[in-house]
A = this chain, B = another copy of it.
């Protein structure tokens, strides 16, 4: 059973009537329900307003895949939480970054790029095309599907070249966007998935919900969490795998820590 945690900043659901009407229990609960429809996933939720933003060390230790939705309050996420999530991803935890979380601290940290894009809020039609036939994240999808009303995101999208481009979006107003991108950072798999503007009923869409379920399965770690993700050990000459003799000048005394 994959332990998924759906994190949401949960702001616009409290402050905007249109959003509250679409997601009366919050985006996080809507997504959690989508995931729980899969018999292999057990999901819970976490929000910005909880202690430690809902992501204590103990909680993260028990998380196989973390889904992240944020928009208005990226700056309010505690840096210590961002560090903790980054460490977990490097150790193997899966991470799924949703829509406006392209500007979240954690995504920018893991990408090493500005993650900016162009955008337009006009309720226009988005058509999502599968560009990686047979990819696990596209399982069960048609070759393309429409979201009748979505926010536009346009290229250029300032992210690193992905391992694989799974989806590309067509927008009614004339733009394109790489909507489904995979990465690995350390032992962890990362999937960015574009749709999900909070004034649109996107997370109620059956194709979108299928992508989320597929992505959780894809991002589920293959092995136990690696905990020494910053470990940079010195190998003793006397323990070398092949016999060697020490030569030349050295900076470090035997057994000394390396420099950082």
A residues near B (Cβ < 8 Å) are 12, 16, 18-19, 71-72, 74-75, 90-92, 100, 103, 109-114, 116-124, 127, 129-136, 138-140, 143-144, 149, 152, 154-158, 160-161, 163-165, 168-176, 178, 183-188, 198-200, 221-223, 226, 229-237, 240-242, 244-252, 258-260
Q: What is the chain B residue whose CB lies nearest that of A247?
A: B123
Most buried by B among A103, A158, A178: A158
Contact of A234 among B119, B170, B222, B223 (CB under 8 A): B119
Interface SS majority for chain A? loop
Q: Are B230 and A74 in contact (CB under 8 A)?
A: no
Per the bound structure, the CA–CA distance linking A139 and B220 in Å amounts to: 13
A166 to chain B, nearest CB (A): 10
In the complex, what's the smallest C-beta–C-beta distance from A63 to chain B, in angstroms?
A: 15
B235 and A127 form a contact (CB under 8 A): no
Closest to A149 in B: B248
- Contact for A158 among B133, B169, B175, CB less than 8 A: B133
CB <8 Å contact, B71 and A133: no
B residues less than 8 Å from A240 (CB atoms): 120, 122, 173-174
Measured between C-beta atoms, what is the minimum distance from A107 to chain B in Å? Answer: 9
> Does B199 lie within 8 Å of A116, measured CB to CB?
no
A-B contact pairs, 11 of them (CB 8 A): A74-B259, A103-B232, A113-B186, A116-B232, A119-B258, A122-B237, A122-B246, A136-B222, A161-B163, A164-B184, A173-B242
